[in-house]
Amino acid sequence: MAEAAGKDARAKARVLIAADKFKGSLTAVQVAERVTAGLRRAVPGLDVASLPVADGGDGTVDAAVAAGFERREVRVAGPLGQEVTAAFALRDGTAVVEMAEASGLQRLPAGTFAPLTASTYGSGELLRAALDAGARTIVFGVGGSATTDGGAGMLSALGARFLDADGEPVPPGGGGLAELASADLSGLDARLTDVEVVLASDVDNPLTGPKGAPAVYGPQKGASPDDVEALDAALAHFAKVLEGPVGPQAAEYAASPGAGAAGGIGYGALLLGARFRPGIEVMLDVLGFASALDRADLVITGEGSLDEQTLHGKAPAGVAAAARAADKEVVAVCGRLALPPEALGRAGIRRAYPLTDVEPDVAKCIAEAGPILERVAERIGRDFLT
């Protein structure tokens, strides 16, 4: 009788999978599919719900679409000016716009970097497309950028003008801002005044300085030490010139948390009146995480690498914090684990299951992430649900 009752209780257990992508291996949707398959090997018929999550960076639109948003595609300028097809998500007047769709590193040709010239113009075109679609709230997810232009390209696409001493538009990219002589924001799309824009980011860096966009993230985009110095000076000059049309707030925005996000596009968003919020918090709200969490007995989160960065605003930390507040148990899956058990515990994660526990060869873990993740999930099923 007791054994039958135990089986019945397990069959009624409800699991929520709220994991981010395994970058370079699996999308968040694929992670959820593989974890579901593995769990059901251990517990056939298990009630599993999936809510792929993202923290504002690449994969944010896909997470919104998986949650029921409509995918909209438009042709916009890529970071080097080439035309690309980019997507945003729309539901009930809320648009989820991901800057990486237009201006991300993945939009550059393989092996190519353009730290001084890459532009966010296409991100502005994406925002304009969301306005055209009738969005009243825009969640602007920023991260994974190829750019360090302070959002100047984005603002230009929305109607701003940035001119050199001869009255000509400055060249695209952060490097071109060194030539900026005047800024005119009077032509910005008037619809922006009636729309709520939320800047969703997992970083809170200011625009310039030792913790600013060029110094911290420029090298990831191919910037040499000289490039970093030039970009930092150009962005500081950009903010100074903007004191003309904007006033003292231009400097305040530059020092604000999130201004340095995605090569300074956060600064451009703040100039548009955006409100900065940690990306994972915004996305959990938008995706309806609270109601999904309410129905769950166990939450499984994760991402490609669980490390120190995870604890500073990444998706698994946000999921775990929300689940802990609701008194739900959380475990995590990952490709690589670089956090000790006590750090996981402080984050609200009971236990983490890296793929390397099953397959020590990292190259195989990357190449065969799906099948290995299923085996990891089967272990979770046995450990927590049987």
The 10s digit of each residue's pLDDT in 327-383 is 999 999 999 999 999 999 999 999 999 999 999 999 999 999 999 999 999 999 999
My answer on whether 322 and 360 are in the same domain is yes
Tell me, yes or no, whether 321 lies in a domain: yes
Q: Could you give the number of structural domains in the chain?
A: 2
| Predicted local confidence at residue 11, as pLDDT | 52
At residue 70 the predicted structure's pLDDT band, cuts being 50, 70 and 90, is very high
Domain holding 74, by residue range, is 60-279
**The 70-77 sheet, strands edge to edge:** 70-77, 83-91, 94-98, 137-141, 196-201, 275-278
Tell me, yes or no, whether 220 lies in a domain: yes
Q: What is the CATH number of the domain that holds 211?
A: 3.90.1510.10
My answer on whether 306 and 233 are in the same domain is no
Q: How many residues does the chain have?
A: 386
My answer on whether 242 and 264 are in the same domain is yes
Q: What is the CATH number of the domain that holds 16?
A: 3.40.50.10350
* Paired strand residues for 89: 71, 96
The residue with greater pLDDT, 5 or 47, is 47
Tell me, yes or no, whether 101 lies in a domain: yes
From 248, 279, 310, the end of a domain falls on: 279
My answer on whether 191 and 335 are in the same domain is no
Percent of the chain with pLDDT over 70: 97
At residue 312 the predicted structure's pLDDT band, cuts being 50, 70 and 90, is confident
My answer on whether 206 and 331 are in the same domain is no
pLDDT at residue 212 above 60?
A: yes
Closest CA to 232 of 257, 191, 201, 260: 260
Average of per-residue pLDDT values in the chain: 95
My answer on whether 146 and 251 are in the same domain is yes
My answer on whether 270 and 175 are in the same domain is yes
pLDDT at residue 29 above 80?
A: yes
Mean pLDDT of 293-312: 95
| Predicted local confidence at residue 2, as pLDDT | 42
My answer on whether 203 and 88 are in the same domain is yes
- What lies within 8 Å, CB to CB, of 300 at 6+ separation is 15, 16, 17, 18, 19, 35, 330, 331, 332, 333, 377, 380
Tell me, yes or no, whether 54 lies in a domain: no
* Rounded Cα gap, residues 61 and 370, in angstroms: 22
Percent of the chain with pLDDT over 90: 94
The 10s digit of each residue's pLDDT in 125-157 is 999 999 999 999 999 999 999 999 999 999 999
- What lies within 8 Å, CB to CB, of 160 at 6+ separation is 152, 183, 184, 185, 187, 188
My answer on whether 23 and 100 are in the same domain is no
The 10s digit of each residue's pLDDT in 226-238 is 999 999 999 999 9
